[in-house]
Amino acid sequence: MDLLLAAELLVLGGCIGFLAGLLGIGGGMLMVPFLTIILGNRGVPSDLAFKMAIATSMATILFTSISSVRAHHKRGAVRWDIVRGMAPGIVTGGLIAGAGIFSLVRGQALVLLFVAFLTFSATQMLLDRKPKPTRTLPGLMGQSAAGTGIGLLSGLVGAGGAFASAPFMTWCNVPIHQVVATASALGFPIALANTAGYLLGSWNMAPPLPGAFGVLYLPALAVIATGSMAVAPWGARAAHALNVKQLKRVFALLLYGLAAYMLMRAMQG
């Protein structure tokens, strides 16, 4: 790996780690577009570059989640009862997406799904709708069903699940700091199930770049994970000191811009 590529990936990992700790996200919304560009500039066909970006993004969440959730757990903010209720469904949905649907769907179709997901996520952030005060979390069956949907969607777009799990928990009147912390914890089973699925679905593929295993680009995984784990605790500390609502609005505008860019690339390619 050349020094320029390593520097690009390290900066990207640092940004992803900070956002993971600050907003409870795995960082896929930012990582996938930028990693797609980086891989495309190294000669990987755009269709395959996008799939590799999704798989590598998801795998980094294994490390980002651990670093972020440790910082939140020290503050007693993680709702482990919610994690236990949603994790079985998340693993099921993740394996279905990673090992089955992901390998069958064309990259361009995944790009369009990703663009729709970015736009929806950004809109949800801007609207900041308040749930009915009487609404509470469903029972174990309901949480498991929600987890299945979140795991499935996350596997197709390379996101850690917070963009689906955080609105779900907020809709059920879970306090915001618990939402951020618990979304970080849910990132681990999401990433584990989907990464296993990606590897099962592409283990016999010829490596497009040195260091690639199937659709997983191991050098990028190592560098991005290093940067993200180092910076994630800073984001977690900032989440308890900054106005997260204002930051989410800024982040939403960035997501709109990335959605427009990815849509333009999909139309061209």
DSSP string, 62-122: HHHHHHHHHHHHHTT---HHHHHHHHHHHHHHHHHIIIIIHHHS-HHHHHHHHHHHHHHHH
Q: What is the pLDDT of residues 230-268, one digit of tens each?
A: 887 787 777 667 666 776 776 677 678 767 866 776 676
Q: Position of tokens 């306090």?
A: 175
pLDDT, position 161: 60
pLDDT, position 242: 66
pTM of the model: 0.71
Question: What residues have CB less than 8 Å from 231, skipping those under 6 apart?
Answer: 13, 14, 15, 17, 18, 21
Distance CA 114, CA 120 (A): 10
- Measured from the Cβ of residue 180, the count of other Cβ atoms closer than 10 Å reads 28
Q: What is the pLDDT of residues 27-70, one digit of tens each?
A: 666 778 888 888 888 888 877 888 888 888 888 878 777 767 88
Is the pLDDT at 24 greater than 60? The verdict is no
Distance CA 33, CA 6 (A): 17
**Coil/strand/helix, residue 57:** helix
